[in-house]
A = this chain, B = another copy of it.
């Protein structure tokens, strides 16, 4: 019921619309979850590096909202959602905290503030994924992120 699996870069673990009852814990590597909107645009919901847990946060009997795939070759523990929820309250609460911060940032901070907050929070992820994915996580275009970085650099 708890399987250890190895996935290659680019491998898709879950698609939107799947009825999916799995939760992934990342032992090594890097996963992401993302949605695709009605215009076909991708929006990264979260990154999951070593030690993180990633899953669709909907109820286990409803179709998923999110895609999950591997941004690097990764080693994962795959668990059933219901097992996960029995033992790891701590982790659920932590995930709530992360999402709360994410909502607050999206609502009250400018692109440049969100970028700097991201840098402070996840300094290593910036090195590991393409800029356009950082932009997607921040909710801006890659072009806007380029500009943000240029402005940020000039003010130093």
**Given known A35-B108, A108-B35, contact A103–B94 (CB-CB < 8 A):** no
Q: A15 interface residue, CB < 8 Å from B?
A: no
A85 to chain B: which residues have CB within 8 Å?
89, 92-93
Contact pick for A96, options B92, B103, B107, CB 8 Å: B92
Copies of the chain in the assembly:
2
- What is the interface of chain A, defined by CB distance below 8 A to chain B? 35, 37, 41, 43, 45, 56-59, 65-66, 85-86, 89, 92-97, 99-104, 106-109, 139
State whether A65 touches B104 (Cβ < 8 A).
Answer: yes
Docked Cα-Cα span, A21 to B123, in Å, equals 30
Q: A106 — which chain B residues lie within 8 A by C-beta?
A: 103, 106-107, 139
